[in-house]
Amino acid sequence: MLTPDQKATLPVKSGGLGVRRAADLAPCSSYLASTAATSELVSAILPSTTQSSSAPFTDIAQQEWLKDHEGTPLTGAGATKEKTWDTIKSTITIIHI
């Protein structure tokens, strides 16, 4: 049985209200989508000596993502879209309900 809070945060297509919690998005999906979308630009702008430290928390965020989302990695073009990250999160939430 879904609590009202759980139902509200599910996507509309999954029977929820589509309300997104900042606590669910801010730690990983938004950050990782942003770093994936800008990685080419960062590589083009910054000298190679600073590129390794251009997004110092990316590795930490990716590890947290893998831990919280059953090791589901996200790479390629889909990694640049926050919606793709959110879809994985909501799918795993539905499976566990």
Would you write out the chain's pLDDT as a tens digit for each of its 97 residues? 778 888 888 878 888 888 877 766 656 777 888 888 888 888 888 777 665 555 667 777 777 777 777 777 777 777 888 778 777 777 777 776 6
54 close to 46: Cβ distance less than 8 angstroms: yes
Among candidate residues 65, 59, 55, the one with its CA nearest the CA of residue 28: 65
Euclidean distance between CA atoms 24 and 83, whole angstroms: 13
